[in-house]
């Protein structure tokens, strides 16, 4: 009997909790640490002429490899270095 | 195990029958005893100052680190926003979006935050924030929590309104948050140390004060208990406490001297007056039993009255000395010329000197204006002349002279008598003092006491020196110095 009461009480509570969680949007999210951003950054490096030379070339390759291995943060950092290097080179 | 803690300021035991003075009753409305302790108050002041200094140090440290980082972040955001605004003015919305993407592409520190949306639709055009934060509606500059790399961190953001566009420029403040966390942790630990050192310092201040005050307290309590010989022990540091102790000891010495003087006077009165009273009583008693006729009885009674008059004069002299020493006669001070006073005194004693075969020389300048008590000064000069005539042998000379100096008038009386031994001169002003050589000479021993008291009343001094230094009969020269106003 007690178990039945617990079940009958817990159901509405669970529903309320789900509703509250759904209505809470949470903090705004920074999207520049996602695999999608990794791809867009790789595409940006690829079209830069200077990125075909070292060290941009190898940095970009390492970045793409890290993103593909599930390390988007490290991959994005490498790709950013590649972009920077490509901008600095003549 | 013996207690080696520093001695508390507990009052020492008093002799039986002596009650400890009670400064204040502790009632329901009275402050706690601890608050009335000066040592406790000094300790509280020390702790408060120490804590204030520590708080000021932390505030400066905070301002110089976290504050500097905040200002640096705001400056970078402002510069970035201005540059992006310029970029928009040069091109268009698409140029601005490209500039934002360029900035994000080279953000190696991974801390830049941008969001460009259309004002009308709030559609995202560029940037790395997934939606427009609610706080951005209220203010241009704000802090909010953002999700970055899976963690919620604080971000500083600045809103810029452009025609048809809304732009957010900001920075991830993870570093600032870490620094603030470190500083907060450090401050908490340092606060513990500050409280510990403040308490230890306060305790030390209180203990040192108590230790330094204890000798004075013990001494005063001992004196209150009747031990007048007790003196405050000096630490040898020659600091304020030692100076206070020295002053207390000087005061106690002075009180001791005064009390010894009072005791000496009482003894002297009892001793010196007992003899003439006993003599007068003996004479009267003898006359009562042995007087042959009324004439003889009357003569003895007259002699007794004369003796009692002498005793009365001694009391009168004692009262005058006491009055002069207490300064009670200062109200009678007035301006007058001292010369006629001295001339009167000389004239008064001239006959007396002649009767003893002495010569009285008087040398007085004209005039000697001063401010003082005319009657007391006449009495003082008369006492000096009386002494001089008393001790000068027949054929000798007594000289009364006065001189006016820039700062003072000096009146001197010199005689040809035996003089006064140097060791007796310091005692000559004491009541009833009689030098050994003058025991046979009639007198009460109060003459010079009055002269000294009159000199002090006028702010002056009495000097005793040889009238003829080196002579067999050096004589005595008494110099009364009276400062001019």
Examine the domain organization and report whether B40 and B169 are in the same domain: yes
B159 phi and psi angles, rounded to 5 deg: -95, 135
Best residue in B104, B129, B157 for a mutation probing chain A (most A CBs within 10 Å): B104
Give the pLDDT confidence score for residue B169 in this predicted structure.
94
Give the pLDDT confidence score for residue B361 in this predicted structure.
94
Q: Residues A10-38: pLDDT tens digits? A: 566 555 555 555 445 678 888 888 888 89
CB contact under 8 A, A30 and B131: no
Q: Which one of B110, B146, B172 has the shortest CB-CB distance to A77?
A: B110
Contact B108, A77 (CB under 8 A): yes
Give the pLDDT confidence score for residue B363 in this predicted structure.
92
CB contact under 8 A, B110 and A32: yes
What is the C-alpha radius of gyration for chain A, rounded to an integer number of angstroms?
23
Residues of A in contact with B128 (CB under 8 A): 30-32, 37
How far is the C-alpha of B296 from the C-alpha of B288, rounded, in Å? 10
Any idea where the domains of chain A sit in the sequence?
A: 35-88
Give the minimum alpha-carbon distance from B143 to chain A in angstroms, rounded to a whole number: 12
E strands present in B343-446: 359-363, 369-372, 397-404, 408-414
Give the pLDDT confidence score for residue B75 in this predicted structure.
94
Choose one of B323, B343, B374: the last residue of a domain: B323
Give the pLDDT confidence score for residue B238 in this predicted structure.
86
**Residue B475 DSSP SS3:** coil
CB contact under 8 A, B149 and A30: yes
Choose one of B172, B206, B227: the last residue of a domain: B227
Examine the domain organization and report whether B96 and B163 are in the same domain: yes
Best residue in B101, B104, B105, B157 for a mutation probing chain A (most A CBs within 10 Å): B105
Examine the domain organization and report whether B186 and B62 are in the same domain: yes
Q: Which one of B101, B105, B149 has the shortest CB-CB distance to A33?
A: B149
CB contact under 8 A, A29 and B104: no
Q: How far is CA A10 from CA A3, A6, B152, B166, in A?
A: 10, 6, 30, 45
Examine the domain organization and report whether B213 and B69 are in the same domain: yes
CA angle B413, B414, B417 (to 5 degrees): 135
Give the minimum alpha-carbon distance from B65 to chain A in angstroms, rounded to a whole number: 27
Residue B172 lies in a domain: yes
Contact A30, B173 (CB under 8 A): no
Give the pLDDT confidence score for residue B346 in this predicted structure.
92
Q: Nearest-CA residue of chain A relative to B106?
A: A80
| Beta strand B334-337 pairing with B369-372 | antiparallel
Give the pLDDT confidence score for residue B335 in this predicted structure.
92
Give the pLDDT confidence score for residue B480 in this predicted structure.
93
Where b means 16+ CB within 10 Å and e means fewer, A40-73 reads ebbebbeebebbeeeebbebbebbbebbeeebbe
Give Cα A69 distance to the centre of its chain.
Answer: 13
Examine the domain organization and report whether B308 and B335 are in the same domain: no
Residue B5 lies in a domain: no
Residues of A in contact with B132 (CB under 8 A): 28
Q: Which residues of A sit within 8 Å Cβ distance of B?
A: 25-33, 37, 41, 44, 73, 76-77, 79-81, 83-84, 87
Residues of A in contact with B144 (CB under 8 A): 27-28
Counted domains in chain B: 3
Q: Which one of B104, B133, B144 has the shortest CB-CB distance to A32?
A: B104
Examine the domain organization and report whether B47 and B196 are in the same domain: yes
Examine the domain organization and report whether B172 and B220 are in the same domain: yes
Contact B450, B317 (CB under 8 A): yes
Q: Which one of A27, A31, A87 has the shortest CB-CB distance to B128?
A: A31
> How many residue pairs bridge chain A and chain B with CB atoms within 8 Å of each other?
61
Nearest to B80 by CA among B112, B50, B105: B112
Count CB-CB contacts under 10 A for residue B449: 24
User: pTM above 0.80?
Assistant: no
* B378: CATH: 3.30.565.10
Give the pLDDT confidence score for residue B6 in this predicted structure.
40
Give the minimum alpha-carbon distance from B57 to chain A in angstroms, rounded to a whole number: 36
| Beta strand B397-404 pairing with B359-363 | parallel
Containing domain of residue B307, as a range?
240-323
Choose one of B283, B306, B323: the last residue of a domain: B323
CB contact under 8 A, A31 and B129: yes
Give Cα B49 distance to the centre of its chain.
Answer: 24
Examine the domain organization and report whether B220 and B352 are in the same domain: no
Residue B434 lies in a domain: yes
Give the minimum alpha-carbon distance from A30 to chain B in angstroms, rounded to a whole number: 5
Residues of A in contact with B147 (CB under 8 A): 26-30
Give the pLDDT confidence score for residue A11 in this predicted structure.
60
Interhelix angle B174-224/B240-290, rounded to 10 degrees, is 10
Terminus-to-terminus CA distance in chain A, angstroms? 81
Q: Nearest-CA residue of chain B relative to A44?
A: B105
Examine the domain organization and report whether B274 and B379 are in the same domain: no
Give the minimum alpha-carbon distance from B95 to chain A in angstroms, rounded to a whole number: 16
Q: Which one of A30, A73, A81 has the shortest CB-CB distance to B129?
A: A30
Examine the domain organization and report whether B178 and B63 are in the same domain: yes
Examine the domain organization and report whether B57 and B206 are in the same domain: yes
Residue B15 lies in a domain: no
Q: Name residues whose C-beta falls within 8 Å of residue B7's C-beta, 6 or more positions apart in sequence.
A: B210, B211, B214
How far is the C-alpha of B256 from the C-alpha of B272, rounded, in Å? 23
CB contact under 8 A, B129 and A77: no
Q: Tokens at residue B463, please?
A: 């000097």
Ranges under pLDDT 70 in chain B: 1-35, 92-93, 272, 434-444
Residue B467 lies in a domain: yes
Give the pLDDT confidence score for residue B5 in this predicted structure.
42
Residue B7 lies in a domain: no
Residue B67 lies in a domain: yes
Q: Which residues of B sit within 8 Å Cβ distance of A?
A: 101, 104-108, 110, 113, 128-133, 144-149, 152, 172
Give the minimum alpha-carbon distance from A12 to chain B in angstroms, rounded to a whole number: 30
Terminus-to-terminus CA distance in chain B, angstroms? 69
């Amino acid at each position: 009997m007690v178990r039945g009461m617990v079940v009958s009480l817990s159901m509405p509570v669970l529903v309320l909790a789900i509703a509250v969680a759904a209505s809470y949007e949470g903090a705004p999210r920074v999207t520049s640490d996602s695999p999608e951003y990794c791809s867009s950054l790789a595409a940006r490096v690829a079209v830069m002429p200077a990125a075909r030379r070292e060290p941009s070339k190898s940095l970009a390759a390492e970045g793409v490899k890290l993103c593909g291995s599930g390390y988007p943060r490290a991959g994005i950092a490498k790709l950013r270095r590649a972009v920077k290097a490509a901008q600095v080179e003549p | 195990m013996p207690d080696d803690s520093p001695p508390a300021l507990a009052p020492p035991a008093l002799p039986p029958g002596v009650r400890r003075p009670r400064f204040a009753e502790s009632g329901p409305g009275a402050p706690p005893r601890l608050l009335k302790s000066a040592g406790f108050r000094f300790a509280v002041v020390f702790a408060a100052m120490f804590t204030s200094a520590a708080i000021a140090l932390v505030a400066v440290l905070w301002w110089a680190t976290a504050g500097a980082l905040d200002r640096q972040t705001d400056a970078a955001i402002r510069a970035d926003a201005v540059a992006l605004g310029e970029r928009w003015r040069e091109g268009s919305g698409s140029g601005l979006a490209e500039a934002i993407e360029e900035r994000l592409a080279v953000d190696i520190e991974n801390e830049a935050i941008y969001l460009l949306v259309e004002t009308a639709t709030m559609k995202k055009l560029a940037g790395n924030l997934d939606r427009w934060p609610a706080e951005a509606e209220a203010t241009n500059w704000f802090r909010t929590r953002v999700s970055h790399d899976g963690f919620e961190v604080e971000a500083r953001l600045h809103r810029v309104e452009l025609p048809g566009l809304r732009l957010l420029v900001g920075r991830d403040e993870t570093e600032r948050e870490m620094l603030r966390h470190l500083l907060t942790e450090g401050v908490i630990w340092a606060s513990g140390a500050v409280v510990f050192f403040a308490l230890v310092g306060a305790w030390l201040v209180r203990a040192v004060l108590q230790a330094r005050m204890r000798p004075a307290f013990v001494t005063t309590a001992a004196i209150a208990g009747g031990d007048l010989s007790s003196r405050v022990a000096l630490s040898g540091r020659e600091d304020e406490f030692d100076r206070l102790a020295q002053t207390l000891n000087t005061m106690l010495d002075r009180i001791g001297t005064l009390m010894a003087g009072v005791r000496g006077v009482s003894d002297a009165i009892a001793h010196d007056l007992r003899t003439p009273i006993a003599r007068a009583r003996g004479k009267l008693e003898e006359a009562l039993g042995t007087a042959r006729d009324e004439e003889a009885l009357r003569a003895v009674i007259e002699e007794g009255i004369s003796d009692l008059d002498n005793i009365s004069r001694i009391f009168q002299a004692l009262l005058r000395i006491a009055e002069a020493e207490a300064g009670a006669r200062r109200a009678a001070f007035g301006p007058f010329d001292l010369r006629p006073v001295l001339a009167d005194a000389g004239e008064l004693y001239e006959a007396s000197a002649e009767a003893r075969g002495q010569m009285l020389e008087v040398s007085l300048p004209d005039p000697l204006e001063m401010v003082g008590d005319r009657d007391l000064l006449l009495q003082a000069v008369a006492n000096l002349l009386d002494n001089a005539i008393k001790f000068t042998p027949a054929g000798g000379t007594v000289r009364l002279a006065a001189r006016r100096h820039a700062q003072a008038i000096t009146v001197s009386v010199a005689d040809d008598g035996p003089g006064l031994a140097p060791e007796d001169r310091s005692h000559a002003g004491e009541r009833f003092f009689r030098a050994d050589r003058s025991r046979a000479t009639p007198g009460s021993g109060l003459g010079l006491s009055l002269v000294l008291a009159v000199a002090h009343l006028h702010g002056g001094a009495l000097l005793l020196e040889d009238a003829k230094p080196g002579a067999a009969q050096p004589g005595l020269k008494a110099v009364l110095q009276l400062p001019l106003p």
